[in-house]
């Protein structure tokens, strides 16, 4: 009973202490708010009401009256950059860096924001210079990420490799897939310049970095073919099926051309038909169709398309079927069938695109790096219509 009495007596005491603490906090808050310029609340109100133009005008007035407000300089600079007014953002952050009394932490922040301004403005050389100075500071990770973006834009692949490895070593996650892509870019440059012997070691490093890199395997086969080793190229390209069966469509034409070159076209057709059975693809069907048409004739090509359309009914497949039918129909109905095919093609063309899984950017051709979001390996090697059916 004694415990209950003391417990009841403690309630008003705790309530009183809480009331006193709240009063102190409120007084402190009111005191701090009175020390802020009225324009600050005015600008904040404009921001909350989604009126950035008026907010900027209000903040500029505060900065004019009190140039020592570093936080407002940062806020204004960021607002300018987001609005695309990069010149004003640059001036704002450069003015901050000219202040001798600016604390070291805010100096680094101003440098980082200035680098972002240059990056947004497309002044990549100046942005790189700024971010390089920040690689040994608390802004190291952010700076290296920005440098990686810059090196990719400039297609400086060796520097991109070094930047990605530095980020990986700093504990920001595995970047092996990305690094392998950079080695592939270097190898492609060598292949374009007809130096396949220089591409080989780069592709070996890419595969050592990411053994599942279908792109590195495809390019490795290209390098072998360029050096006159067709059989070795065929064996290399066939390894793609073990890495990703859906990516075999990207190597299908190479395989068919290779088997025809060595005098074994039926072996190539059988292999591609097995791929088609495992991973239906309109692009793969096109390669097999043309090969069957050349080697086995119109009837066999027609049968192939009929069977595939029954298995995977798509508008793109119907277009291929009509193409096959035009080869066998009597001349008197060929014109009408051609008209129907043109109508189908008009609608099918909207579905024959590749779509980035990351940002949704659609393109007529396949990309290893998305032109929209610049992410790597985000395009499935299948058309949008096929993806919707398989979803």
User: Residue ranges for the binding site?
Assistant: 356, 359, 370, 373
Report DSSP state, residue 315. Answer: H
- CB-CB contact of 366 with 378 (8 Å): no
> Helix axis angle, 282-296 relative to 298-311, nearest 10°?
160
What own/partner pairs with CB < 8 Å and gap ≥ 24 does 377-380 have? 377/177, 377/181, 379/354, 379/355, 380/246, 380/354, 380/355
CA 66 to chain centre: 43
Q: Are 160 and 128 in contact (CB under 8 A)?
A: no
CB 217 within 8 Å of CB 243 = yes
What is the Cα 262 distance to its own chain's centre? 39
Binding site feature residues for Fe cation: 356, 359, 370, 373
Using only C-alpha atoms, the chain has a radius of gyration, in whole angstroms, of 32
């Amino acid at each position: 009973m004694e415990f209950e009495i003391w417990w009841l007596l403690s309630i008003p005491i705790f309530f009183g202490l809480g009331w006193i603490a709240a009063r102190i906090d409120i007084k402190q808050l009111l005191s701090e708010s009175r020390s802020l310029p009225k324009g600050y609340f005015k600008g904040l109100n404009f921001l909350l009401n989604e009126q950035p133009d008026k907010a900027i005008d209000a903040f500029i007035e505060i900065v004019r009256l009190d140039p020592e407000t570093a936080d407002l300089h940062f806020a204004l600079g960021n607002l300018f950059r987001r609005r695309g007014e990069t010149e004003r953002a640059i001036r704002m952050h450069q003015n901050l860096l000219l202040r001798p009394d600016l604390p070291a932490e805010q100096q680094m922040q101003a440098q980082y924001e200035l680098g972002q301004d240059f990056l947004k403005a497309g002044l990549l050389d100046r942005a790189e210079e700024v971010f390089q100075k920040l690689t040994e500071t608390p802004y190291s990770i952010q700076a290296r990420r920005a440098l990686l973006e810059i090196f990719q834009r400039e297609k400086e692949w060796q520097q991109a490799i070094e930047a990605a490895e530095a980020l990986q070593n700093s504990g920001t996650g595995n970047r092996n897939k990305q690094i392998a892509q950079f080695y592939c870019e270097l190898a492609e440059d060598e292949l374009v310049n007809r130096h396949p012997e220089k591409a080989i070691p780069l592709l070996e490093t890419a595969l050592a970095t990411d053994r599942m890199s279908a792109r590195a395997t495809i390019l490795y086969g290209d390098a072998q073919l360029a050096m006159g080793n067709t059989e070795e190229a065929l064996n290399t390209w066939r390894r793609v099926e073990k890495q990703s069966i859906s990516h075999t469509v990207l190597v299908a034409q190479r395989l068919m051309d290779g088997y025809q070159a060595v005098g074994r076209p039926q072996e190539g057709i059988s292999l591609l038909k097995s791929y088609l059975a495992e991973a239906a693809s309109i692009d793969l069907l096109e390669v097999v169709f043309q090969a069957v048409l050349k080697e086995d004739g119109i009837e066999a090509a027609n049968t192939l398309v009929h069977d595939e359309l029954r298995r995977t009914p798509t508008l793109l497949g119907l277009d291929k079927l009509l193409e096959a039918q035009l080869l066998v129909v009597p001349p008197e109905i060929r014109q009408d069938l051609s008209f129907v095919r043109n109508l189908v093609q008009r609608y099918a063309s909207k579905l024959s695109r590749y779509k980035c899984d990351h940002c949704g950017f659609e393109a007529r051709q396949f990309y290893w790096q998305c032109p929209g979001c610049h992410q790597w390996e985000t395009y499935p090697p299948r058309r949008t219509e096929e993806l919707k059916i398989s979803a």
